[in-house]
Amino acid sequence: MTIPELKGRELEMAEDEPIKILFCIDALIRGGTELQLLGLIDRLDRSQFSPYLLTIRPSSTVLSPSDCPHLAWHIPQLFSPTGLHEIWRLTKFLRKENFSVVQTYFQDSTIFGGTAARLAGVPTRLACFRDLGFWLTRKQTFLLKGVYSLMTGFLCNANVVKANYILHDSLNPEKIKVIYNGIDSEALNWVEHSNPTTNIGIVGNLTRRVKRTDLFIKAAAIVSRRATASKLTWHIIGDGALRPKYENLAREEGIANKVIFTGRISNVAEYLDTLQVGVLCSDSEGFSNALLEYMLKGCTCVATAVGGNVEAIDHGRTGLLVPPDDVFALADAMEKVVVDIDLRRYLAANARLLVENKFNWEKCLKEHESVFRNEE
């Protein structure tokens, strides 16, 4: 065998090897982005792709994906001698293991993983955008623009998210691909609620005011004072530092005896079986997994017209949309589906069909794999 023939055979073997992908995220928690990432890792065909997961903050080992190496690093400060050393450590690791793709989530992981990937010469470097960047300061925005210049592409989970980053960060639209969230519709059974409305709930971590659980409580108080909704129970599903504040607000509004704070629960989907209506009243959203779960479980949706909500809900057909930060509009919409049972059932049935056809893991996975293969 000649030397050129040997090189050709080695190249062919290399092409048959699974594509190595490093997913980099701050930490593993039971959040929407984290669960989407874990779902993607779990579904990747191991004969074609070899995923690795890197977390840079303390994470729960319970959530570590199976059949995927988890690099649990701890980097308290990126901009420190230790942080710079860890970037170089990651750079050497990426070179040694010959990764083809690095995909990052959130600010710190994008700075950390994106910089190391560029230094290592990783050919495909992807940053994911999953919200409207409402939390960014001017300094952070300036810093991230520099990091974005190191990336080869960007993934968004909604068209409105894509438009936001084109407008505010001057990113090339041709480098941005929209891939909607995946959801396992078969695992979320449909519940037909034919009886009068008795239970309305909201799902979300009680850690950030942007989710506006306070608005939900105030609107619940307005509806509860109306005769048509006197027997309603309100469910707040989630936990966090703001919970005591919201519990006090429920007392101030006079509905503490009608509000259930569930705390953090492991099986949210099962809990949704009891709800006829699901609410999402955030001031800002990327694309909400909670909204998709409502729609699949038969919970009629009332949501603010922000972010990806407007891409999931066709007002009057698959749910009701209201302006953000408008407690009276939210209360009126909730009361509307309480009073009109036929409307509530009509919206819920249409919503389930929409999610099954438009937002599913098969489509989400196929589009990610296409990006990883550089087919687009």
138: pLDDT strictly greater than 60: yes
| pLDDT tens digits, 152-203 | 999 999 999 999 899 888 899 999 999 999 988 888 889 999 999 999 999 9
- pLDDT of residue 8 exceeding 90, the answer is no
d(CA 42, CA 188): 18
Q: Is the pLDDT of residue 133 over 90?
A: no
| Chain segment 342-355, per-residue pLDDT in tens | 999 999 999 999 99
Q: Would you state the pLDDT for residue 228?
A: 64
d(CA 90, CA 54): 10
pLDDT in tens, 192-223: 999 999 999 999 989 989 999 999 999 999 99
Going by pLDDT thresholds of 50, 70 and 90, the confidence category of residue 105 is very high
Query: Does the fold of domain 185-358 match that of domain 14-181+360-372?
Result: yes
Strand, coil or helix: what is 3? Answer: helix
- Residue whose C-alpha is closest to residue 306's, from 329, 288, 282: 282
The rounded mean pLDDT for the chain is: 91
Average pLDDT, integer, range 263-269: 88
User: Confidence band (pLDDT; 50, 70, 90) for 14?
Assistant: low
Instruction: Please state which CATH class domain 185-358 belongs to.
Output: alpha beta
The string of DSSP letters for 167-210 reads: HHH---GGGEEE-PPP--GGGS------SPP-EEEEE--TT-GG
Query: How do residues 316-331 score in pLDDT, each as one tens digit?
Result: 999 999 999 999 999 9
Q: If you ran DSSP here, which 8-state letter would residue 50 be given? A: E
pLDDT band at 11 (very low <50, low <70, confident <90, very high): very low
What pLDDT score was predicted for residue 229? 57
Is residue 10 scored above 60 in pLDDT? no
pLDDT at residue 95 greater than cutoff 80 = yes
pLDDT at 17 over 80: yes
Give the pLDDT score at 1: 35
Task: State the pLDDT at residue 62.
Answer: 84
Nearest CA to 190 among 359, 351, 361?
351
The CA–CA distances, whole Å, from 40 to 34, 103, 361 equal 10, 12, 8
**pLDDT > 70: percent of the chain:** 94
289-321 pLDDT tens trace:
899 999 999 999 999 999 899 999 999 999 999
Write the CB contacts of 30 (distance below 8 Å, at least 6 apart in sequence): 63, 264
pLDDT-derived band at 230 (thresholds 50, 70, 90) equals: low
Identify the CATH number of the domain defined by range 14-181+360-372: 3.40.50.2000
User: How high is the pLDDT of residue 367?
Assistant: 96
The residue extents of the domains of the chain are: 14-181+360-372, 185-358
Does the structure show a pLDDT above 60 at 12? no
Please write the tens of the pLDDT for every residue from 34-85.
Answer: 989 999 999 999 999 999 999 999 987 788 898 999 999 999 888 899 999 9
Q: Which of 233, 239, 282, 244 is nearest to 262 (CA)?
A: 239
Out of 196-210, 228-242, 362-376, pick the least confident. Answer: 228-242
Q: Encoding tokens for residue 290?
A: 């909670």
